[in-house]
Chains A and B, each alone.
Chain A
Amino acid sequence: MSFELPALPYAKSALEPYISEKTLDFHYGKHHQTYVNKLNDLVPGTKFENADLETIVKEAEGGIFNNGAQVWNHTFYFMQFSPDGCKEPKDKLKTAIEAEWKTVEDFKEAFSQAAATLFGSGWAWLVKDDAGKLSIVQTSNAANPMRDGLTPILTCDVWEHAYYLDKQNARPKYVEDFWKVLDWKVVSERF
């Protein structure tokens, strides 16, 4: 089974000025593509030869895990953006967020803090447990919360490649702009 880079649901310039076309050229066109290519190089002849991506994320180790999880994580990340998406959570998701953080603003602040303080390369996540309870987690490098039985709802890539061309060392500015292109409709559907 061969993995493919999924098409973006928007043009590479669509998230300007918050995420530049140049950043998407590299992030999607090079980094995401390279993870796909490396995964396809690594799986033949292993027990993951016919596995789906989620199985690889949950069970693989080493290079197959790193590349497989990075394919999954980036697809999850890119699919949640839109130039004209829903700007705020609504209905059940809003209620669930307010149950944990009082207000959506408080949640955004806590999530932004998690994204800003993850040391090194990695991801900040909004996740849901089996009981439907929401929480924020940070993971390093390719790590994915599904390994811990949690369901990802929303993610922010804080590898420097996600923002360095646009924001350089100013990761908090990137996170601030991240909210402006996030489509809460996609996030709600995941919830």
Chain B
Amino acid sequence: MSFELPKLSYAYDALEPYIDAQTMEIHHSKHHAAYTSKLNGAIEGSELEGKSIEELLANVSNHSTAVRNNGGGFYNHNLYWEIMAPGGASQPEGDLLKAINDSLGSVDKFKEAFANAAATRFGSGWAWLVKQGDSLVVSSTPNQDNPLMDVADVKGTPILGIDVWEHAYYLKYQNKRPDYIDAFWKVINWGEVAKRFKG
């Protein structure tokens, strides 16, 4: 059984004006699709076939670079589409809010740390909100690495992530990555983030 490119639960133009339809379409139907098919190509006929994506990532140091790059790309984009939604709840609530306050000081401090991690990741990569037991940390990873990987500096379960590869924002924001990060807050699906926090 091979990995499949997920369908989005909203239209390509649903996140306008924060993320434009053209970016969404290319990002999903070209970039994410390429990671998915290359991941399938990398594991086809090997003993890795049939393993879950989480299993592959947990032992990624034992696998090929193609599994690391494309397995990460497959997983990360799945998460990215799900933690965004048009008109998502505007703020974290409940247990998630409490954990953010306890671990990171306040929602504002969390946002500042996350935006800073996203803005200062040099080159291509991701910034994350990571669950470690009951607490939360902010981190970033290069390229398509993520906190589920045994090679990550900060390990845990990612519950929110922002793609800061230039392909995620260049058509609309060009060199202004901080403007894209500002816009990202407007489309976060906090209900989905809370669900991932509960586990």
Binding site for B on A (CB under 8 A): 26, 30-31, 34, 66, 119-122, 140-142, 159-161, 164-165, 168-169
A120 to B174, CA, bound (A): 17
Q: How many A-B Cβ pairs are below 8 Å? A: 55
Q: Is B132 an interface residue (CB 8 A)?
A: no
Residues of the A chain whose Cβ atoms lie less than 8 Å from the Cβ of B122 = 66, 141-142
Binding site for A on B (CB under 8 A): 26, 30-31, 34, 65, 69, 122-125, 142-144, 165-167, 170-171, 174-175
Q: Are A169 and B123 in contact (CB under 8 A)?
A: no
Residues of the A chain whose Cβ atoms lie less than 8 Å from the Cβ of B30 = 168-169
Return the contact of A30 from the options B31, B166, B174 (Cβ within 8 A): B174
Return 9 A-B CB contacts under 8 Å, by A number: A119-B65, A120-B123, A141-B123, A142-B122, A160-B166, A165-B174, A168-B30, A168-B167, A169-B34
Q: With a 10 A CB-CB cut-off, give which of A119, A142, A161 has the most chain B CB atoms.
A: A119
Return the contact of A140 from the options B123, B167, B174 (Cβ within 8 A): B123
Q: Are A26 and B174 in contact (CB under 8 A)?
A: yes
Q: Are B167 and A164 in contact (CB under 8 A)?
A: yes
Minimum CB–CB distance for A117 against chain B, Å: 10
A34 to B176, CA, bound (A): 11
Name the residue of chain A whose CB is nearest to the CB of B30.
A169
Residues of the B chain whose Cβ atoms lie less than 8 Å from the Cβ of A30 = 174-175
Residues of the B chain whose Cβ atoms lie less than 8 Å from the Cβ of A159 = 123, 166
A120 to B124, CA, bound (A): 6
Minimum CB–CB distance for B196 against chain A, Å: 26
**Given A120-B142, A120-B143, A142-B122, CB of A34 within 8 Å of CB of B175:** yes
**Given A161-B166, A169-B167, CB of A121 within 8 Å of CB of B174:** no
Minimum CB–CB distance for B95 against chain A, Å: 35
A142 to B142, CA, bound (A): 13
A122 to B171, CA, bound (A): 19
Residues of the A chain whose Cβ atoms lie less than 8 Å from the Cβ of B142 = 120
Name the residue of chain A whose CB is nearest to the CB of B176.
A30
Minimum CB–CB distance for A159 against chain B, Å: 7
Return the contact of B124 from the options A31, A34, A121 (Cβ within 8 A): A121
Nearest 10 A-B pairs (CB), nearest first? A160-B166, A141-B123, A121-B123, A120-B143, A120-B124, A164-B170, A30-B175, A169-B30, A121-B124, A161-B166
A34 to B174, CA, bound (A): 13
Q: Are A26 and B175 in contact (CB under 8 A)?
A: yes
Minimum CB–CB distance for A146 against chain B, Å: 19
Name the residue of chain A whose CB is nearest to the CB of B124.
A120
Residues of the B chain whose Cβ atoms lie less than 8 Å from the Cβ of A142 = 122-123
Return the contact of A169 from the options B31, B65, B125, B174 (Cβ within 8 A): B31
A119 to B67, CA, bound (A): 13
A141 to B170, CA, bound (A): 17
Minimum CB–CB distance for B20 against chain A, Å: 13
Q: Are B175 and A160 in contact (CB under 8 A)?
A: no
Beyond the given A66-B122, A120-B123, A121-B123, please list 15 additional residue pairs across the A-B interface where CB-CB is below 8 A: A26-B175, A30-B175, A31-B175, A34-B175, A119-B65, A120-B125, A142-B122, A159-B166, A160-B166, A161-B166, A164-B166, A164-B170, A168-B167, A168-B171, A169-B34
A140 to B123, CA, bound (A): 8
Q: Are A165 and B170 in contact (CB under 8 A)?
A: yes
Minimum CB–CB distance for A65 against chain B, Å: 10
**Given A169-B31, A169-B34, CB of A160 within 8 Å of CB of B123:** no
Residues of the A chain whose Cβ atoms lie less than 8 Å from the Cβ of B143 = 119-120
Minimum CB–CB distance for A19 against chain B, Å: 15
Residues of the B chain whose Cβ atoms lie less than 8 Å from the Cβ of A169 = 26, 30-31, 34, 167
